[in-house]
Structure formats: C-alpha cells, structure tokens
Structure 1
Amino acid sequence: MKKTLLACTLMLGCTTLAHADPLSAWNDTAAKASIVQWVQNSTKQGSTTFIPKDKRYVVFDNDGTLWPEAPLTFQIQFILDEVKRQAPDHPDWKKDPLVNAVLNNDLKTVVKAGDKGLMKLLAMTHSGMTTEDFEQRVASWLANHKDARTDCRYDQLGYQPMRQLLDYLRENGFKTWIISGGGIDFMRVMSQKMYGIPPEQVVGSFALGEFSLTDNGTQIRKTMTGAFNDDAANKPVAIHLFMGHRPVAAFGNSDGDLQMLQYTAANPDYKTFGLIVHHTDATREYAYDSHPPASGKLEAALPEAKAKGWTVVDMKQDWKTVFDPAQCPVK
C-alpha cells in the first residue's frame, strides 16, 4: 500500500512537472482565469462553444499590447534616429525647421508639427529605397539601439505575459495575427523572432510600392503613394482585406483598437473573447489611460470593455513579470 502511494505521488509529481503553467508570467487572477476558461471552452470537442481549427483566427495590436508605446512608439523613435543618421548625407535637410528640431531633440516642436510633420518624416525615412534596403535599416537599428529607460534593445522588450499568451493560443490551434497601426514593413522585420508570428500574418499601415526590372533582377521601391493608416475603424477593413475571416478573439490596449474589438465581438457564429491591456504599472513600465505620454489613449474602450464583458488586464496586478528577465533584467 505504501509503495503504491509512493508511486502515485511520484507520478503526480512528474505529471506536474510535465505540465508546467504555460502562462507562468501571469498572476493567478481573474484575467488569467478568463483566458484559460475561454481557450478550454473553445477547444473542447462537442462543446456548444467549440470553435473549429480553421476558424480560430485571433488578432493582436502591437504597440502597447505586445510591446511598449511609451514614451514614444518604437517606430517613431526609429524615424527620429534615422533622420539623425542620414542628416550628414543630406545637407539640405538642415534648412528644414522640423529636421533641426529632430537633430536638437526638440520633441515639443516635433509633436507640435502633428500628423503633417509625421508624414513628412515618414516620407524621408520610409520611402525612396527598396524593401530590402529598408529591412536592413530596421534590422541595423534594432541591433544597435537601446531603450533609454531599460537599457535593453527594442526587440527584447516584448511583454513576456503576452508572448506566453501567443504561444498558448498557438498550442491550442489558434492562428495569431498582428493588426496594428505600426508600419507593416517595420513590424515584419522582428515579428517572427519576437512573437513567432510570420510576416504574412502581420498587417499594419502601408503605402504602395513601385515594381521595376533592374540589371540584377527586380525590385520593389517604397513610396508614400496610397498611404493607408491601419488604426481605429480601418482595422476591421484591414482584417477583411488581408485575413478574409472575422476573428474569434481580439487583444488591444487603446481606443485605436476599439473597432477591432467590436468587429470581433460581433462574430455571429462563435463565443468570442476580447482583452484590453491597461497600463497601470509606473514602476515596471508606464501608467496611463486617458492621458498617454504620446499615443495609446484608453478612454472610450474602457467602459465598453466592462459593458461587453471583455477582460481588462491590470498590468500591475495581473502580470508577475513585464519583460523576460533573461533578455531584459529589471533594474
């Protein structure tokens, strides 16, 4: 009897080790429980809430949902760094007050320039080169620049709880997509390495490229023609255009994700899941909602989340860790 009991104890111990918590970076709160419950209900064969594998499309915002967007979105930081890098080769740029503001780290003037100024900087740093050249520029920036607050490379700053969530969903047959206001070519450089999401499952803001034959073959040159901003009401449009499926789950963090969450929640065929990451941790990351440092305002989506029963993640309370300590140790 004692031997049998000992064997059972050892077997249970082995089973526990073999089934380590896939969401170990999450605290055992209601937010985590809601995720696990929905996944279990959605994948249980014969259940009334079962979702077939070929319908398990889930969408994630990137900035503020999978990695930080404060104090600036990382792509805007890339734009500013690129202007500084290229300025010596473009003496005429120094005649431009906006460029001088960038070179002098005068962010107030840059912000005051608004969307018109941003589009100008985008044109200077995101067009006129081949797609391969742009990819190399982003890769070089990622390898050689660090976030000032954490002293970690930008591609080391994916939220560990969300990366675990992506893995957990894929292990249960879900197909994960990024639907973000960030540039599609910018995000595709790091999406596979950071999140396990291949380039073809990344949708973001874009402009039309120009194809041409060259002496060495072919090329696509980046332009600003037909620029499409994949944010707010444009997100459902982009989902329809690129995915061709209505998602069964959506994950965001701001009012710019509200329409994506609404579009997903209105799926007539399946019990859907919505989640909003609420930035409440000023010590480990940032704390904001209606007054973000730069972008990511969360105002209209928060009360709607409560009304619709979407899960609201309190970063301070619900996450054990924010960044992977093996990649970016907390100071």
Structure 2
Amino acid sequence: MDLTTRLKEEARAQGFTLCRICGPDDIPEVPERLRAFLAAGRHGQMSWLEDRASWRGDPRVLWPEAQSIIMLGESYTPGHDPLEVLGQPDRAAISVYAQNRDYHDVVKKRLKRLGRWLIEAAEGAPEIKVFVDTAPVAEKPLGQAAGLGWQGKHTNLVSREMGSWFFIGAIFTTLDLDRDAPESDHCGSCRACLDVCPTDAFPAPYQLDARRCISYLTIEHKGPVDEALRPGLGNRIYGCDDCLAVCPWNKFAAEAQEAKYQARDDLLAPPLAELAMLDDAGFRARFSGSPIKRIGRDRFVRNVAYAIGNSGDAALREVARALTEDADPTVRDAARWALARLPEEG
C-alpha cells in the first residue's frame, strides 16, 4: 500500500471525515480574487486579511519548500435544527460551531497526531506545518482544489459527503504526494443560501460582503453596528448559520460523532436576560474553552443587547435599562437602542 493511501486511512482513524491532497500551485486564481475583495473594502475591519495577503493568496509564498498540501475535513453536523431557536426571540441563537469546545484546539491536536504519523511513516525526514483557520492560508480554495468540496454560492465549502457542516484543517509538507482531482460546482440553480440571508450579505452568487454578514458583525466587528443592520441580527448573538442550514446538500450529512462538537445544554438556546447580566468574570467562566471567549464580554453583551431590542418582549425592558448604565460605551449605546424599541409592559 502506497504512502498516500495509508495516509488517508490514518486520517480516518484519527477522526477526520475526509482527506484529500492538492499542490501549492493549484489555486492560481486566488491572488486576483483576494485583491478584488480587499479593494472593494468587503473585509471590513479584518485588517489581518490585508496585512498578509501575499501569504494567503499563494501557499508558495507562505512556505516555499512545501510540495503537497493535505486538506482534512471534520464533520460537526448538528443533531438539532439550528434555525429553530430563531423562533424564540427571548432566547439567544449561537452558531452551531460555538456551542461546545473550541474547534481550533480539537482539530489542531488531530492534525499534529496525523503529522507525526506521516513523519514516522515516510522516508527522508519530511517536514510539515499544520494550520487551522488562524494562519494566512486559503483553506476554502485549497479544499476545493484538493476535492474536499466546492465553494458554494455562500462562499463556504460544500461537500457531497458532509454538506456545509465541517471544519477544515491543512498539513503542508515537503513530501511529494499523489494529488486528488478538484471538486466541481454542484450548486446548480439553487439560491437557498442567498435568499435566506437576513442582511443581504451576498452582492452576487459566490460573493460575500463581510460588512453585512452577521457572523462578521457579531464576532469581528468592533464598536457599534450600523443601526440599519441591527434589526437583521434578530436574536443571533454569536455567528449565523442560516446560509449553511438551508443547503440541500446537508441531507447527505451524518450527525457529528465527536462529543466535543455536540451542543452544551446551556448554549442551545440560553435566555437573553441571563446572558445580559454576565460581568467579565462570569463571562470568562461560562465560556472557558469556547471560541466565544475570544470576543470578550463587552462585545458579547453588545450583541445580547441588540437581540433584546429585536425581541419585542416588554419583559426585557428592565434588563435593557440596566445595561444603559454599563461601563462600556458600546454596550450602553446598544442598550439605549434596545430600550427604545421595546414596548411598554401593559
């Protein structure tokens, strides 16, 4: 059995759903696409996209010695309907990927184990580098080039085996491994992901304006959110799953087996009133080990205040009123906006 075949078997044994391989020169279209995205300002406040654009656009610049790129997909398909909570306006909607442990930690450990296996199994002392979403690597184009899936009209990767619900990891290596064929587009005439977006974040199919995307607004955007966009947030306080959840290819995806990806009971649909009262210590304790922790208490409570303002629930007026005295000016602004939108109790 050749090394590439053994590698793919070991990847499955380590818990990855899919393992495919491409080369560092297989995404020649990315630099120009990235330049156009940045030139249009669609990256918003994500200056890190601009800072290392040359690395992100070309893996050969990131690591010239790399000969092969191993792309791994790990399913996190939920066992519940992630859109159901949107019908409970006094509860918080948290993106599926953030309802338990931070996937960066889980996936990176798997990648390192697989990388160590590869070094031991190969001849010639190959080198490796592992990446999970925190380095300037074009994971989605590389995933398509390797055959994991294709970038759908919502710009996320879609897999025939895993639908839209999967994490992506990459192992760069100096080994010259057999490459897989790229995946072709299977969206057809479907527009489900485009039409469901509450804030019209897709200027056209296969294009995203992050400045209007709820995931960007609730996670990356600092300071007050544009008032015109706040109603579209609904009760989504961390991320948004709408465009992923409506993808028809999800019907082929099996529920994730990794316990660390299965939703914690207290994060499925937590009460907004409970989250609004979190101080910094309470926030850190509740979200220890969660990706939510990285946005900090103030940005998180800002999002909760917007959700309270969108709830239409008069019972939340006192919660909003309390936040108008918050130490953070952006939270105070969000709370005043919320209070002005809530009906009087009667």
Normalised to the residue count of structure 1, the TM-score between the two structures is: 0.23
Counting strand residues as a fraction of each chain, which structure ranks higher? 1
